[in-house]
Amino acid sequence: MTTPQQALIRAAARNNAEWCAAVCRAHGVAGAFGADAWAAPVRTPLFYPDAVTLGPDADPDALTTRIDTASPGASVKDSFADLDLAAAGFRVPFEAQWIHRPAGSAPAAPGLEWDVVGDPDTLRAWALAWDDGAGNADLFRPGLLTEPETFLILGRPAGDTEGRVAAGAVASRSEHVVGVSNVFGPDGASDAAWPVVLHALARLFPTLPVVGYEQGADLAAALRHGFEPLGPLRVWTYAG
């Protein structure tokens, strides 16, 4: 792994931890940043880790003492895929790849117009479109609208007057990168969402490279839209 790759993964991990911290604040959960990881002492919202490592070679014992393993489902995002938490009762439910796309322009998406969510009603419409009937739309709470580095991007059919949300993503701005996550499009397909999301990111953050992580079909879609893989990450879940 080259030094530029290492720097990008560190930036992506930090950016992702900042987004996780923002989601937790919206749910009344206060995490803390340390030298090697961000961690929350109580259980975090659904789909969000209790800790995110910020550099390689984090101390597994010190890390697991900072989170609540007394409650089912505690998890650690192993940003550098270099931890072994099996002895502490964790297992790996999935692995993924950090991804990177250089800063630069992106063409407008045919048939879709983008905007940034700015009020609770639009946030609710965005969350329901992201959720697609799974019952988890309440994950995205109005407190996110007060986070200055968080931008919920939506794509609407051109000329739409009914407020329909056809695609979207979350953008999280850091000092050196902008992170993108929760990309969704029609019928759950991220391929249809990437053009409008990338166009919005290029307009909002023209000088910042884009980072994130994906797996499976969503990773393949991101690579088709100009991303490159940076390196692996793992998520460890406490199994008791």
pTM: 0.96
Q: Would you place residue 2 in the very low, low, confident or very high pLDDT band (cuts 50, 70, 90)? A: low
Task: Name the token pair of 170.
Answer: 């979350």
Triad 166, 222, 139: Cα angle to 5°: 50
Predicted pLDDT of residue 31: 97
Per-position DSSP letters for 33-70, written without gaps between them:
E-SSEEE-SSPPPTT--SEEE-SSS--HHHHHTTS-TT
Distance, CA of 205 to CA of 88 (rounded, Å): 41
Averaged pLDDT for residues 143-158: 97
Predicted pLDDT of residue 174: 97
Predicted pLDDT of residue 1: 57
Predicted pLDDT of residue 51: 98
For 76-93, the pLDDT digits (tens) are: 999 999 999 999 999 999
Nearest Cα neighbor of 77 from 233, 192, 219 is 233
Q: Is the pLDDT of residue 186 over 90?
A: no
Which of 10-14, 80-84, 121-125, 156-160 shows the lowest per-residue confidence on average (mean pLDDT)? 156-160
Averaged pLDDT for residues 212-231: 97
Amino acid letter, residue 144: L
Averaged pLDDT for residues 93-106: 96
Task: Name the token pair of 177.
Answer: 């990168």
For 31-56, the pLDDT digits (tens) are: 999 999 999 999 999 999 999 999 99
Averaged pLDDT for residues 168-183: 97
Contact 95, 215 (CB under 8 A): yes
Residue 159, Cβ neighbours under 10 Å: how many? 7
Predicted pLDDT of residue 200: 98
- Per-residue b/e over 141-158, b at no fewer than 16 CB within 10 Å? beebbebeebbbbbbbee
Contact residues for 149 (Cβ-Cβ < 8 A; gap 6+): 18, 22, 172, 173, 174
Triad 151, 145, 194: Cα angle to 5°: 25
Q: Would you place residue 7 in the very low, low, confident or very high pLDDT band (cuts 50, 70, 90)? A: very high
| Mean pLDDT of the chain, nearest integer | 95
Pairing of strands 210-214, 150-157: unpaired
For 123-135, the pLDDT digits (tens) are: 999 999 999 999 9
